[in-house]
Structure 1
Amino acid sequence: MSFSPQSRIWIYQSNRKFSAAEESTILKKLEAFTNQWKAHGNELLAKAEIRYGFFIILTVDESQANVTGCSIDSSVRLIKEIEQEYNVDLFNRFNIAYKLNNEVIVNNKEDFETLVNIKQITPNTIVFNNMVQTLAELETKWEVPFQNSWHSTVFAHLL
């Protein structure tokens, strides 16, 4: 099934990496959800995936039916259930993910700031921009060098 580059996405970043068993169970739960996800009775063309063991990504192709507030609410409820069931934090926007030696690492804002300060995070360190909103942006603007990200404006005083 192919999704339009303009498909809407939502990224939920975990504060810790899911185990392989957790990831498998969560994916089954997400798949069951996306297979029956509806907006005002219309089936949504949707999919879910987990990338790097940290990121739950929901995708909806609105060329078939538009997402509604109610359908977004139902997805948020599911993510909150996963959060409680697996004791992870999926809504904390102050947790920042980056890559170090091709490993994804998630730190809180204070620890990340320290790493920028001591030059462990460089202008070329890959960071994750979870604010992207479309599939096209996910492919081109999600994993970006720190210097090209919103992070660099927040932590500019440290560079």
Structure 2
Amino acid sequence: MFVDYSEISDDAKVWIYPSSRKFYNTEIEALESSIKSFVKNWQKEDENFKASYQFLYNRFIVLVVEYSETAISNAVIDASVSFILQLQETYKVELLDKMNVCFKQGEFVQYKELKDFKKLLKNKALTGKSIIFDNLVNNNYDFKNFWEMPIEDSWYNRFL
């Protein structure tokens, strides 16, 4: 059942899909419509299944699920991964590569391979105060509190 994101509890499961590029303004309306349609129809017959999403910085697709009965099934996860794979193909972007790093550089969100991120730190193009996105957070509480933070306060600080 689709619910407004504000109705989702802190314990809800979160999946973050960073795009390898910013979505173009001409793509956003159709993309958000696709995401909302998927989430609305994702287990819609199960009233214990609450789902929502966020689309942030024209780059991050965040799927959020709260399920009160049992653990989230593999079928539910498979459906979401299939949907994300469809988006990758439609928009010619990478959404499933968790080994890339997203961070802010000024007002822009950058997406880099880990080796390139390390080079930026070494060359002082980024500092411990630079904002990083931890796309590995897995619950709504961590998403709201620890997804976007200074590198020095994140697990990425080992690369400083």
State the match for 1:63 in structure 2: 68
| TM-score normalized with structure 1 length | 0.89
**Alpha-carbon deviation of 1:105?**
1.2
Q: Which residue of 2 aligns with 1:25?
A: 30
Q: Determine helix, strand or coil for the equivalent of 1:42.
A: coil
1:72 aligns with 2:72: no
Q: Report Cα offsets for 1:13-42 as digits up to 9, x if no partner.
A: 111000122122111111111111118x62
Contact 1:8 1:135 in 2 (8 A): yes
* Superimposed CA distance per residue, residues 106-130 of structure 1 (whole angstroms, 9 cap, x where no aligned partner): 1122221111011111011110001
Match of 1:137 among 137, 142, 148: 142
Please state if 1:35 is matched with 2:40.
yes
Structure 2 unpaired stretches of 5+:
none
Task: Tell me which amino acid in the other structure corresponds to 1:30.
Answer: I
Cα distance change on mapping 1:16 and 1:26 into 2, 3 Å: same
Letter in 1 for 2:46: N
Q: What is the CA RMSD across the aligned residues, in angstroms?
A: 1.7
Structure 1 residue 67, shift from structure 2 partner: 2.1
Instruction: Measure, in 1, the Cα distance between the counterparts of 2:100 and 2:11.
Output: 27
One-letter amino acid of the structure 2 residue matched with residue 7 of structure 1 = A
What is the count of residue pairs matched by the alignment? 154
3-state secondary structure, aligned to 2:16 = strand
Q: 1:114 aligns with which of 109, 112, 119?
A: 119
The alpha-carbon deviation at position 78 of structure 1 amounts to 0.2
| Residues 12 and 90, structure 1, Cα contact 8 Å, conserved in 2 | yes
Local SS of the residue matching 2:34:
helix
Unaligned runs of 5+ in 1: none
> Is the 8 Å Cα contact of residues 23 and 50 (structure 1) preserved in structure 2?
no
Runs of 4 or more, structure 1, over 6 Å off, are none
Name the counterpart of 2:19.
14
Distance (Å, rounded) in 2 between the aligned partners of 1:116 and 1:37: 40
Distance 1:79 1:146 in 2: 28
Contact 2:8 2:52 in 1 (8 A): no
CA distance in 2, matches of 1:4, 1:117: 39
Tell me the CA shift for residue 89 of structure 1: 0.6
